[in-house]
Chains A and B, each alone.
Chain A
């Protein structure tokens, strides 16, 4: 049974606050970044379609959450992250990156700007410790971790905003894309944002662990299908959203990954990796993260070799791959030499000895139908 295993060397997995809820729903669990995570409930494909067609709820409490607070918070964050957060209005969330001095991507993150000079930062679980150290190094005690005390739920799909609004009230209904706010719900505070990682509309909620079961129940009783990490991966891949550790890491820079929108250079402000990124931006690309769709039946998986037809030496290896339930085709991503990273180019992927023809396409693989 597959499933990414990033569990710590001691092998002890952290259980989610809502573990019993997941178990009662028949979840299959898998280790992920030290957490015992629901991989699927009824089945990955059904959960995937539920999110594309209706609404699903994911427990994403493994994502690391940290506060940076105080009048200097924006300036401190600007010094460690690629996006110019000082321009982000209160009540807005934005995607950004942590880079190394060499311009490699150490993590991709989400920043929420809340009233009172408070910033919530969302880190990938696998990078939680080193990301928090990065914040601590510049912010000291102004940075604090909140991961274990709170639960994070993602509600995603075409019916998600209606469900979130019915559960959380007008406070959510008034939010625009990438707005964030703190709402009162049943006598507690819920931090909400109209964000996600599926290519669908929806939102993410952070609530104290003691109130989390009631919020989970409100979403599931309101019609959300519980969905696990398996569906989360196929959904994000169809939306061409990169996964840190697969599609981006310290050996890739934002421009070749198609993440230049998350890097601000023109404000001139220093941040970790800026000099390398100025140079990378000025250089011609040598490779680009490209999006591949199988032209015949078959499934693409991470690490499979990509070839030019009839050649022995691979030009790349897939960084991610899956069967796309929406397209009913294999899809994957790979860093291709720029001469090949063009829509319409045909290549071959070595699927366990079989040469499967694939075509380079524009991202994303799946686009929501227009209303």
Chain B
């Protein structure tokens, strides 16, 4: 099955993506990839960090409950949460239907830009996905 991997995003090996906005380069939007939403299945509930919480690169910062299992959400970068996607409270299925847009999870003020070097570009992320 082909999974979308937009070129403009950065990716973690844990299947999170990070989008840097042109207007505010020290901020990043974070979600899970198309591959990840497909693996976890129908998302039914999310436990996301709140505005003001600190997150650490590679550490658990939330939970994704799907119909069949619970998965951890890891933050791809360290920083402070400046927003969580409130729309997911009533419509967690947006993670499945629109993983890179409406299904975004948190926005973070990036603490250390050097951490971004450890993330993958789209080609690098695609290369480490299991072949189907």
Q: Do A and B bind each other?
A: yes
B67 and A322: CB pair below 8 A? yes
- Decide if A3 is an interface residue (CB 8 Å cutoff): yes
A38 to B52, CA, bound (A): 43
A43 and B96: CB pair below 8 A? yes
Q: A297-B89, A323-B44 are in contact. Are A1 and B67 (CB under 8 A)?
A: no
Q: Which residues of B contact A39 (CB under 8 A)?
A: 68
Smallest distance from the beta carbon of A294 to chain B beta carbons, Å? 10
A230 to B41, CA, bound (A): 11
A297 to B93, CA, bound (A): 15
Give 1 or 0 for each of B69-105: 1 = CB within 8 Å of chain A CB. Answer: 1100000000000000000010001001000000000
B70 and A45: CB pair below 8 A? no
- Decide if A192 is an interface residue (CB 8 Å cutoff): no
Interface size of B in residues (CB-CB distance below 8 Å)? 16
Nearest-neighbor residue (CB-CB) of A39 within chain B: B68
Q: Which residues of B contact A43 (CB under 8 A)?
A: 41-42, 67, 96
Out of B39, B41, B70, name the residue touching A44 (CB < 8 Å): B41
A325 to B65, CA, bound (A): 13
B70 and A301: CB pair below 8 A? yes
- Decide if B121 is an interface residue (CB 8 Å cutoff): no
Q: Which residues of B are interface residues toward A (Cβ below 8 A)?
A: 39, 41-42, 44-45, 47, 63, 65-70, 89, 93, 96
| Nearest 5 pairs of A and B residues by beta carbon | A2-B69, A44-B67, A45-B42, A323-B44, A299-B65
Q: A2-B68, A44-B67 are in contact. List 6 more A-B contacts (CB 8 A).
A: A1-B39, A1-B68, A39-B68, A45-B44, A297-B45, A301-B70
Q: What are 27 inter-chain pairs, A to B, with CB distance below 8 A?
A: A1-B39, A1-B68, A2-B68, A3-B69, A28-B41, A43-B41, A43-B67, A43-B96, A44-B67, A44-B68, A45-B67, A45-B93, A48-B67, A230-B41, A297-B45, A298-B45, A298-B47, A299-B45, A299-B70, A301-B70, A322-B67, A323-B44, A323-B45, A323-B65, A325-B44, A330-B45, A352-B70
